[in-house]
């Protein structure tokens, strides 16, 4: 039910820099402000939930000038959200 991933890219700066290890929890329903791991176009992304609808999420990077997110690809279905980040390891 947990998953472990390492961050690649800079769209979540300053909170998550490249190389940070994150732990995601699959069973939690995301709320606005949560950092989530979502699947889009075959790869897993890490973004923050900016808005919630009953069946979809609007995800935006913390570093909007270097982030491709819902501002480009729109709302993601709830099924695309894989896990909520519950722990980060700054190694």
Partner 1 sequence: MKLLNKFIKPVYAHCDVPCGIYETDTMKHAADTCLRMIEKIEALEGADKEKSDAHNNFIRMVVTKEKHAQICKDQLYLLWSDYFKPEHLEKFPDLHQTFWMATKQCGKVKQTISRAEAEKLVEMVGGVATIFAQSKQ
Binding site for partner 1 (CB under 8 A): 4-14, 16-19, 21-22, 37, 43-47, 61-68, 72, 90-91
Q: DSSP per residue over 20-42, as a string?
A: -EEEEETTSPP-TT-EEEEEETT
Pairing of β 43-53 and β 56-60: antiparallel
Give the C-alpha separation, 50 to 32, whole Å.
Answer: 5
> Could you tell me the smallest distance in angstroms from the CB atom of residue 48 to partner 1?
10
- List the structure tokens of 61: 């990077």
Neighbours of 41 (CB within 10 A): 6
Q: Name the residue nearer to partner 1 (CB basis): 5 or 52.
A: 5
Q: Name the residue nearer to partner 1 (CB basis): 1 or 65.
A: 65
> Could you tell me the smallest distance in angstroms from the CB atom of residue 73 to partner 1?
10
Q: Name the residue nearer to partner 1 (CB basis): 4 or 53.
A: 4
> Could you tell me the smallest distance in angstroms from the CB atom of residue 68 to partner 1?
4
């Amino acid at each position: 039910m947990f998953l472990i991933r390492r961050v690649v890219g800079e769209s979540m700066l300053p909170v998550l820099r490249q190389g940070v290890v994150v732990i995601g929890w699959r069973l939690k329903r995301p709320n606005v402000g949560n950092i989530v791991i979502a699947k889009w176009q075959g790869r897993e992304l890490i973004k923050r939930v900016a808005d919630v609808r009953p069946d979809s999420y609007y995800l935006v990077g913390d570093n909007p000038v270097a982030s491709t997110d819902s501002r480009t690809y729109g709302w993601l279905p709830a099924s695309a959200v894989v896990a909520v980040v519950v722990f980060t390891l700054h190694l």
